[in-house]
Amino acid sequence: MHPLDTDRLQLRAWSDEDIGFVFDMYSRWEVQRFIGLVPRVMADRGEAEAVIARWRSLDDPVCGVWAVQRRADGHLLGTLLLKPIPASSDRTPLPPSGDIEIGWHFHPDVWGHGYATEAASRALKHAFDSGLPEVVAVTKEANTASQAVAGRIGMTHQGKTTRYYNATCELFVATRPAS
Ligand SMILES: CC(C)(COP(=O)(O)OP(=O)(O)OC[C@H]1O[C@@H](n2cnc3c(N)ncnc32)[C@H](O)[C@@H]1OP(=O)(O)O)[C@@H](O)C(=O)NCCC(=O)NCCS
């Protein structure tokens, strides 16, 4: 996983020291309510430990699931994801669609500071610098906060799609700028 920096933020690999933060963030309904086909909050620290192990095992030079922390004091803020997005399908598990998805989950205590936008913008630049031609983001219709992040990082809203996750989502697309 490629560490990334911005003015205020560091995007780095997760570690077991982050289990408490991950559990605190993903056990909150306001974080989970728009995530997944059937949203549910994380039930115990074991789930946080397992998810960190899964994120750490993703060994890819472009994609990753980063821990986002504030440079000034090392305070953990949230998660930034760049990963293959599953297609809609009758098959289980859902097969890859061939597209790459960007996503963001931040702790409610730090919403409203532009951290998600700053982290996502850096990850998107990393994706394009690494040669990806296109990155997509999908949100639930009611998730206006997430749609605003996609808009702020320059993604184009393309309406609804049923292409991914066996769900109807709002689709946002960013295309690699001409160099
Ligand atoms: C989606 C989510 C990350 C958005 O968080 P956010 O804090 O609203 O987004 P940003 O970090 O871009 O911050 C933007 C806000 O900070 C303000 N802000 C303050 N300083 C700023 C700065 N330096 N730069 C940009 N914005 C700044 C903006 O005005 C905006 O405020 P507003 O919401 O009142 O319009 C957050 O709601 C979340 O984690 N939700 C739960 C998980 C989720 O649903 N994820 C998406 C799944 S598709």
Determine whether the shortest distance from the Cβ of 146 to ligand 1 is under 6 A.
yes
pLDDT digits (tens, 9 = 90+) for 86-97: 999 999 999 999
Domain with 150 in it: what CATH number? Answer: 3.40.630.30
Give the structural domain span for 58: 4-175
Please tell me the predicted confidence (pLDDT) of residue 103. Answer: 98
Q: Is the pLDDT of residue 133 over 90?
A: yes
Q: Which long-range CB contacts under 8 A does 43-49 form with residues at least 24 apart?
A: 45/19, 45/20, 47/23, 48/19, 48/20, 48/22, 48/23, 49/16, 49/19
Mean pLDDT of 23-34: 98
Q: How many domains does the structure of the chain reveal?
A: 1
Q: Residue 6: CB within 6 Å of ligand 1?
A: no
Mean pLDDT for the stretch of residues 28-47: 95
Q: How far is the CA of 58 from the centre of ligand 1 (A)?
A: 26
Q: What is the mean pLDDT of residues 7-17?
A: 97
Q: What is the pLDDT of residue 1?
A: 78
